[in-house]
A and B are shown apart, each in its own frame.
Chain A
């Protein structure tokens, strides 16, 4: 009995659903105390979790890497590390052997990084280092993503233990 074409029914339903979604979402978010801003600068928000002076940008990271004046520490899992990492970096997960890593760094400052600003593994590793009394590090929040986007070289393969001060 219903000869309305499917596409017409679907479009009618879709318009109703979209309208309801906009009304409910807008009302709920503006009325409730836990509502969030309609739009937000997420990069700024993600950077706000770091202490001033605790982080470096890509240019500074590249400079330190080129000069060999710091040891790079990749806080991601070994699979991600093997896929691509900053050349010469060592792979130390937050639950890994941090004392051994500090030893491998040989007194040089460490540059801790992970995937990107969205990744918290660098923060975790840095917090543990701090707890262990080792504060000779900086965090590179841009991580491997920012490094690659800047066109800097990457390396593949597992951590063979050669990364560190003695490379």
Chain B
């Protein structure tokens, strides 16, 4: 069971390292995406585009190497919670937001898939965090 916890923690970290790579390399393209979501005031778009990918990268690395991984895991779970919240909020606003601005596919189906994907990642992360908590208790 111990290895399952470790595997979950490492996998959780790898997901975020992988997710942050492209954003770190292409900050302008990522800033455009952040702007497109239209949830932040203009002035905050670039700061988020500059720092959020590094936040993901650092948390991911710490999870993989298993140092400071409890905090990293909890922070990433909170981040995912925000993402899911935004997706669900957009879904609740209905097709109003699925304007085809970001993708040519039908919006709602994708949004549901995104939410499920994030929930699966959250579950893997929770397993990793559980491992950390158990390890600390012994």
The reply to whether B42 and A41 contact each other, CB–CB distance below 8 Å, is: yes
The reply to whether A42 and B35 contact each other, CB–CB distance below 8 Å, is: yes
The reply to whether A25 and B96 contact each other, CB–CB distance below 8 Å, is: no
The reply to whether B99 and A115 contact each other, CB–CB distance below 8 Å, is: yes
How many interface contacts (CB-CB < 8 Å) are there between A and B? Answer: 122
Within 8 A of B (CB), among A1-46: 1-2, 6, 9-14, 16-18, 20-22, 24-26, 28-29, 34-43, 46
The reply to whether A21 and B54 contact each other, CB–CB distance below 8 Å, is: yes
The reply to whether B54 and A80 contact each other, CB–CB distance below 8 Å, is: no
Query: With an 8 A cutoff between CB atoms, is A55 at the interface?
Result: no
Residues of B near A17 (CB, < 8 A) are: 55, 58-59, 62, 68, 71-72, 75
Partner of B101, one of A6, A37, A38, A118: A118
Separation of A36 and B131 alpha carbons in the complex (Å): 39
Contact with A along B62-88 (1 / 0, CB 8 A): 100000111110110000000000000
Summarize B's interface: helix, strand, loop or mixed.
helix
Query: With an 8 A cutoff between CB atoms, is B51 at the interface?
Result: yes
Nearest-neighbor residue (CB-CB) of A115 within chain B: B99
Partner of B50, one of A10, A25, A115: A25
Q: A83-B95, A115-B101 are in contact. Are A20 and B47 (CB under 8 A)?
A: no
The reply to whether B46 and A13 contact each other, CB–CB distance below 8 Å, is: no
Query: With an 8 A cutoff between CB atoms, is B110 at the interface?
Result: no
The reply to whether B99 and A21 contact each other, CB–CB distance below 8 Å, is: no
Nearest-neighbor residue (CB-CB) of A9 within chain B: B70
Partner of B42, one of A28, A40, A76: A40
Partner of A76, one of B59, B99, B138: B99
Separation of A120 and B17 alpha carbons in the complex (Å): 30
Query: With an 8 A cutoff between CB atoms, is A77 at the interface?
Result: yes
Residues of B near A80 (CB, < 8 A) are: 95-96, 98-100
Residues of A near B133 (CB, < 8 A) are: 6
The reply to whether A118 and B36 contact each other, CB–CB distance below 8 Å, is: yes
20 contacts between A and B (CB under 8 A): A2-B136, A10-B71, A10-B74, A11-B71, A12-B68, A13-B68, A13-B75, A21-B51, A24-B57, A36-B27, A36-B28, A36-B50, A39-B43, A40-B46, A76-B100, A83-B94, A83-B95, A114-B101, A115-B99, A118-B36
Binding site for B on A (CB under 8 A): 1-2, 6, 9-14, 16-18, 20-22, 24-26, 28-29, 34-43, 46, 76-77, 79-80, 82-84, 114-116, 118-121
